[in-house]
Amino acid sequence: MTSEPIPFLDLCTPHRELEAELLQLVQQAFRTAGFIGGPMLEAFERAFAEFCSTRYCVGVSSGTDALRFAPMAAGIGNGDTVVTVPNTFIATTEAITQAGAQPEFVDIDERTYTMDVDKLREYLETMCWPDSTTRSVISHRTGKRLAAIIPVHLYGQMADMDTILGLAERYNLVVIEDACQAHGAEYFSKRQTRSYTAGSMGRAAAFSFYPGKNLGACGEAGAVTTNDEELARTIRMLRDHGQAKKYYHEIEGYNGKLDAIQAGILQIKLGHLAEWNEKRRTCAQRYQEMLGSAEGIILPYEGSSGKAVYHLYVVRVHNRDELQRRLTAAAIGTGIHYPIPLHQQSAYRTLGYKRGDFPITERLAAEILSLPMFPGLTPAQQSRVVEQVLEFVGLTTAQAA
């Protein structure tokens, strides 16, 4: 075969295109030795808050730190339970545990792959007791107060925030968005009759700028967005050893700052994010047109009123591993997000969940495959991917018939 390999994700091209500008930025940091804090960081924080339509953005050292600091700053910790989904990256639950709380799961929706809000309601009504003293609820399983919900805007699509926020109000719960895959995604709220950007609906939201995310640094980076001034202040302290003034430690914190050079790099790339997201959406539409009528494959579902930013393009097929092998043999990169649900991970054996507890997540884990998706993916590359996929599902559906 003479065809060029098709990467799952092309991180080289954007850096080649922006190289001169990025190098100049690094040089400027060298000349001023402004590596920690300072104007580059503050400028990026202002710009990203504006992009998300929030009042505050606090840069931190990773998405995981953002996910840890947000609940901590909201007073969630020892003796609390936090509910999230089992189909996510482990950082979501690491953050809950490391904040001192215990994670619990509800299953995902079979179409959107984000939190199933009917299951969330059922969980609140049947698996929690009302606690008359605090207007909140106590989880049967953990025997601890349920303090927060962390919905994950998976693959670039926002969870059903209207219902989640409604339930959170009723049960006195904090909502923290895991927006690590959803920079610039939008959700149309029927309650408020307006659109919201990811990161602006919860009490706070966590973003990751890991290199492969829709907005990625050249290393580790993350941020918390919020409209809550006090929360922003606390997170600024948490990322910097609990100090607002040097060597005056109001609380014990962490070393979780965002480097100035990374902030400067992110600021340059942020200028391209809207256009990159549009390109991802165009690629998704093209996949949809090329694969749309095929039997034996389930394509991503996007509700009519929101706007997904396709961090990943995830399809479902039977014999997924076989399709992945076929694509690998044709030099086409793929991924699986995620192969083992969190409740079945060895790390979470102590949570006491078993196979069958979250059937949608479990079924999906065996069937999902992430196809190449990045802003520079060309129609010709997509045709080659689609050709392989169609041949495969044609063969397997013929066998099944």
Nearer Cβ to ligand PLP, position 180 or 317? Answer: 180
CA 216, 218, 223, 225 torsion-angle sign: negative
Which helix (H) or strand (E) is 130 found in, with range?
strand 128-131
What is the smallest separation between the CB atom of 399 and ligand PLP, expressed in angstroms?
A: 35
Residues of this chain that interact with ligand PLP (CB under 6 A) are 62-64, 67, 88-89, 91-92, 152, 178, 180-181, 208, 210, 222
CA gap 359, 58 in Å, rounded:
37
CB of 44 to ligand PLP, least distance (A): 16
Kindly tell me which of 45 and 178 has the beta carbon lying closer to ligand PLP: 178
- What are phi and psi for residue 365, nearest 5 degrees? -55, -25
CA 78 to chain centre: 25
Rounded to a whole number of angstroms, the minimum distance from the CB of residue 152 to ligand PLP is 5
Cis peptide before 338 (omega within 30 of 0): yes
Distances from the Cα of 320 to the Cα of 216, 246, 288, 316, angstroms? 29, 54, 19, 8
In whole angstroms, give the CA distance from residue 55 to residue 73: 16
Give the ranges where 105-255 is alpha helix by DSSP (H).
117-126, 161-171, 229-238
Provide CB contacts within 8 A for 215, sequence distance 6+: 183, 184, 207, 209, 266, 269, 270, 273
Min CB(188)–ligand PLP separation in Å: 22
CB of 49 or CB of 180, closer to ligand PLP: 180
| Contact indicator for 198, 186 with CB cutoff of 8 Å | yes
Radius of gyration of the chain (CA): 22
CB of 123 to ligand PLP, least distance (A): 20
Residue closer to ligand PLP, measured from CB, 178 or 362: 178
Q: Which is nearer to ligand PLP, 108 or 389 (CB)?
A: 108
Task: Tell me whether residue 208 or residue 324 sits nearer to ligand PLP (CB atom).
Answer: 208
Q: How far is the CB of 204 from ligand PLP (least distance, A)?
A: 14
Q: Least CB distance from residue 136 to ligand PLP, whole Å?
A: 25
Nearer to ligand PLP, 253 or 256 (CB): 256
118 near 140, Cβ under 8 Å? no
Smallest separation (angstroms) from ligand PLP to the CB of 69 = 12
Q: Which residue is nearest to ligand PLP (CB)?
A: 63
Q: Pick the closer one to ligand PLP by CB: 156 or 296.
A: 156
Whichever of 91 and 314 has its CB closer to ligand PLP, that residue is: 91
**Residue 155 to residue 178: CA distance in whole angstroms:** 11
- Please give the full DSSP string across 295-318, using - where no structure is assigned: TT-BPPP--SSSB---SSEEEE-T
**Cα–Cα distance, 361 to 160 (Å, whole number):** 17
Minimum CB separation of residue 67 from ligand PLP in Å reads 6
